Amino acid sequence: MNILDKIIEQKKHEVSEAKKKISLTQLKDAALFNRKTFSLKESVKSGCGIIAEFKRQSPSKGIINDKAEVLEVAKSYQKFGASGISILTDSEFFGGKLEDILKVRSEISIPILRKDFMIDEYQFYEAKVNGADVILLIASCLSPNQVQEFTQLSHELGLEVLLEIHTEDELNHCNKNIDLVGINNRNLKDFKVDLQHSVNLKNLLPKEVLAVAESGIFSVEDFKFLKEKGFDGFLMGEYFMRNENPGIAFEEFIKDVRN
Ligand SMILES: O=P(O)(O)OC[C@@H](O)[C@@H](O)c1c[nH]c2ccccc12
C-alpha cells in the first residue's frame, strides 16, 4: 500500500467517525453555513498568485514547524499580499485540523483553501461551516465522475474547486466547471519533484484554464521559471513554514520577486 492509499483508508474511517459526532443536518444549521465566500479565481488573477500554505508536518518531510501559530501566520500572509491561504486540515499525516480554518476565518478577508483528502460529501459541508472558500480535489484519489459531482456540490455551497493533477492520464478528470487546475510538481506516490514535468503537462491544458503550480517551489528562480511558462498561481508551503516565522519568510520572498 502506498502512502496515498494509507491516507485514504484513514480518511474513510475519520469521516465515518465525524458523522457519528455531528450529523449533516447539524452541520447545515451551523452559523457559518450561509456565509458569503471569497473567490480564489479572482484573487489569483488580480494579485501575485501565491497561495501560501500553513503546514506543520508532512509524510515526506516529518515535522516542518510545530511552533508557528496559525492565526499569526495567516495574518502575515494576508498583510504581505498572498492571493490565498492554504490550510492543511488532515491531522493524522499533516498535523492540521479544521479548527485552524475556523480560527482565522473571521480575522482575514482573503480566500482560504481547505487542503485535505476529500472523499465524501460530508467533508464539503464541514469545509463550508468552518470557513473555507476553496476545496482541493485530488484527481489520483477520485474518479472523473466524483470530480464532477463534488464540483457541483462545491458550487451549490458557494465554494470553488482547485483540481490537482499530476499525470497526463488525469487530464480526463478536468471538466469545464473546475475553477482552477493545480499541477503538482511533487509525485504523491514517491515524493519526487519535477518542475519541467509540470510545464509539459500545463502545455496540454487549454490556454484559458487558470493553472496553479503546486509544491517544491524553493526559490525566486523556481517561481519566475513557472510564471514565465504561463502559470497563474503558485502554491507554496515548506519554503515559508521552514522558517521560525513563516510570515516574515513570505514577506522576504515577495520582496525578492518584485525586485
Ligand atoms: O510544501 P511545498 O512543497 O511548497 O508544497 C505545498 C503544497 O503544494 C503541498 O503541501 C501539497 C500539494 N498537494 C497536496 C495534497 C495533499 C497534501 C499536501 C499537498
Ligand 1: distance of its center to the CA of 215 in Å?
Answer: 5
3-state SS, one letter per residue, for 132-190: CCEEEEEHHHCCHHHHHHHHHHHHHCCCEEEEEECCHHHHHHCCCCCCEEEEECECCCC
Give the per-residue pLDDT at 191.
83
Q: What are phi and psi of 29, to 5 degrees?
A: -85, -10
Kindly state the helix (H) or strand (E) to which residue 211 belongs, with its residue range: strand 211-214
Task: Tell which atom from ligand 1 comes closest to the C-alpha of 214.
Answer: 8
- pLDDT tens for 91-119 read 999 999 999 999 999 999 999 999 999 99
Q: Average pLDDT of 189-213? A: 94
Give me the helix-helix angle, 220-228 and 195-202, nearest 10°: 20
* pLDDT above 90 (res 2): no
Give the per-residue pLDDT at 97.
98
What average pLDDT does the chain have? Answer: 97
Give the per-residue pLDDT at 259.
84
CA pair distance 66, 30, nearest whole angstrom: 30
* Cβ neighbours, 10 Å, residue 205: 16
Of all residues in the chain, the percent with pLDDT exceeding 70 is 100
* pLDDT above 80 (res 189): no
Give the per-residue pLDDT at 111.
98
- pLDDT tens for 243-258 read 999 999 999 999 999 9
Contact 163, 139 (CB under 8 A): yes
DSSP state of 214: E
Task: Tell which atom from ligand 1 comes closest to the C-alpha of 238.
Answer: 1
Ligand 1: distance of its center to the CA of 128 in Å?
Answer: 21
- pLDDT tens for 147-184 read 999 999 999 999 999 999 999 999 999 999 999 999 99
* Cβ neighbours, 10 Å, residue 204: 11
CA terminus-to-terminus distance, the chain: 46
CATH fold for domain 3-258: TIM Barrel (3.20.20)
Domain range summary for the chain, segments of one domain joined by +: 3-258
Task: Tell which atom from ligand 1 comes closest to the C-alpha of 94.
Answer: 17
Ligand 1: distance of its center to the CA of 29 in Å?
Answer: 32
Give the per-residue pLDDT at 137.
98
* pLDDT above 80 (res 88): yes
The amino acid at residue 212 is V
Please choose, from the candidates 84, 54, 50, 56, the residue with its C-alpha nearest in 3D space to the C-alpha of residue 71: 54
Ligand 1: distance of its center to the CA of 26 in Å?
Answer: 31
Is residue 96 within 6 Å of ligand 1 at its C-beta? no
The ipTM (two decimal places) reads 0.98
Contact 40, 111 (CB under 8 A): yes
Residue whose C-alpha cell reads 468552518 in the numeric block:
130
* pLDDT above 90 (res 1): no
User: What is the pTM for the complete model shown?
Assistant: 0.97
Contact 89, 101 (CB under 8 A): yes
* Cβ neighbours, 10 Å, residue 95: 17
